[in-house]
């Protein structure tokens, strides 16, 4: 459709070759666009005979993706005088006195096309995020549970030592009146008893929060954002530069550094062992460079958002 507009009406847009003020937005959107690496498992699974020209096939697929992006950006930049953030809105027909049902159907489809795309992908992303948040809260709960258990063990050891070392404060005439059962079963107000009772009380609350609370939060946050702003370019920049950079750059780099540290501790050497399947980017500077690049991306987009650059 954009090509048809260019052939029929000629170019209407005159974008500048370079615009440094839009570099921050471009950077965030580019990071968001390059997150298409999530589709690699879906591309590899149906391929049979991976050894037969697999790299060429994968290169061909990503070349087609790159050409598709170029076709969208170039035709949209020159076909319209002012390009909307949501690309499909540019093709909506202008309101005229003559009603055309075909044009109306096309307009409704183009206006709702982003809704169809987001509806199909948001459910999967939301379910994955819910499961990840539940696992994260479970790990945090277990970690704090170990800390409380260690503190309780330390308190119990100290109190046992005090019971063995200290003498009774009252005289023998008072101590003789105490029953043996009461001496053997003193009343304890340890934090472990309080913790166990709170866990028993809060277990239904924890189950309710884990089942409904996390889901409600994940549904409310994007709903509130969508009601407060319709700046898709800003949302794409923030999504690509903060969560996108974290998923695409920071987490893999930290995972590599932690795995290598564990490997060096296990083998007792700081040299990476030889491996026929080792990556050409196995040098220790590559993860550090990726982290520096992630920091640079976050700074650039932050400066653009707060209008400091």
- What does the DSSP assignment read for 118-163? HHHHHHHHHHHHHHHHHHHHHHHHHHHHHHHHHHHHHHHHHHHHHH
- Per-residue model confidence (pLDDT) at position 26: 72
**Pairs from 131-136 (Cβ < 8 Å, separation ≥ 24):** 133/214, 133/218, 134/210, 134/214
In whole angstroms, give the CA distance from residue 51 to residue 130. Answer: 37
pLDDT tens for each residue of the chain, 309 residues long: 777 777 777 777 777 777 777 766 676 667 666 665 665 666 666 666 556 677 787 788 888 888 888 888 888 888 887 777 677 777 775 555 555 777 778 778 877 877 777 777 777 778 888 888 888 888 887 777 666 666 666 655 555 554 444 444 444 444 444 444 444 444 444 444 444 444 444 567 777 777 788 888 888 887 887 788 777 666 766 666 677 778 778 888 898 888 888 888 888 877 777 777 777 788 888 999 989 988 887 887 777 777 644
- Per-residue model confidence (pLDDT) at position 175: 47
Cβ atoms 113, 107 nearer than 8 A: no
- What does the DSSP assignment read for 243-275? HHHIIIIIHHHHHHHHHHHHHHHHHT-SSPPP-
- Per-residue model confidence (pLDDT) at position 184: 45
Domain ranges of the chain: 18-36+231-273+280-309
Note the pTM of the prediction, 2 decimals.
0.53
In whole angstroms, give the CA distance from residue 152 to residue 146. Answer: 10
- Per-residue model confidence (pLDDT) at position 95: 55
- Per-residue model confidence (pLDDT) at position 16: 77
- Per-residue model confidence (pLDDT) at position 288: 92
In whole angstroms, give the CA distance from residue 73 to residue 22. Answer: 15
Nearest to residue 290, comparing CAs of 263, 260, 252? 252
- Per-residue model confidence (pLDDT) at position 249: 83
- Per-residue model confidence (pLDDT) at position 97: 54
The angle, 0 to 180 degrees and rounded to 10, between the axes of the packed helices 232-241 and 285-305 is 150
| Residue carrying structure tokens 């109306």 | 104
Token pair of 103, please? Answer: 């044009």
Cβ atoms 300, 24 nearer than 8 A: yes
Q: How far is CA 17 from the centre of its chain?
A: 34
């Amino acid at each position: 459709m954009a090509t048809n507009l260019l052939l029929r009406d000629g170019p209407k847009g005159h974008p500048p070759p370079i615009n440094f003020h839009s570099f921050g937005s471009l950077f965030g959107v580019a990071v968001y666009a390059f997150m298409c690496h999530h589709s690699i498992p879906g591309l590899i699974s149906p391929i049979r005979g991976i050894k037969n020209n697999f790299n060429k096939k994968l290169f061909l697929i990503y070349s087609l993706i790159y050409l598709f992006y170029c076709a969208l950006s170039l035709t949209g930049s020159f076909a319209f005088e002012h390009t909307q953030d949501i690309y499909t809105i540019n093709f909506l027909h202008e309101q005229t006195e003559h009603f055309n049902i075909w044009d109306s159907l096309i307009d409704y489809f183009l206006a709702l096309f982003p809704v169809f795309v987001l509806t199909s992908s948001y459910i999967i992303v939301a379910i994955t995020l819910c499961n990840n948040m539940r696992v994260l809260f479970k790990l945090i709960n277990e970690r704090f549970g170990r800390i409380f258990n260690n503190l309780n063990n330390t308190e119990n050891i100290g109190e046992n030592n005090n019971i063995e070392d200290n003498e009774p404060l009252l005289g023998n005439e008072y101590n003789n009146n105490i029953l043996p059962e009461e001496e053997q079963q003193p009343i304890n107000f340890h934090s472990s008893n309080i913790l166990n009772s709170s866990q028993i009380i809060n277990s239904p609350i924890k189950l309710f929060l884990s089942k409904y609370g996390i889901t409600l939060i994940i549904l409310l946050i994007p709903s509130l954002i969508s009601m407060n702003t319709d700046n898709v370019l800003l949302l794409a920049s923030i999504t690509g530069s903060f969560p996108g950079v974290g998923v695409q750059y920071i987490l893999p780099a930290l995972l590599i550094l932690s795995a290598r540290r564990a490997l060096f501790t296990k083998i007792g050497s700081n040299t990476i062992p030889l491996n026929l399947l080792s990556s050409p980017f196995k040098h220790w500077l590559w993860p550090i460079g990726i982290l520096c690049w992630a920091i640079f991306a976050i700074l650039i987009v932050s400066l653009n958002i707060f209008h400091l650059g």
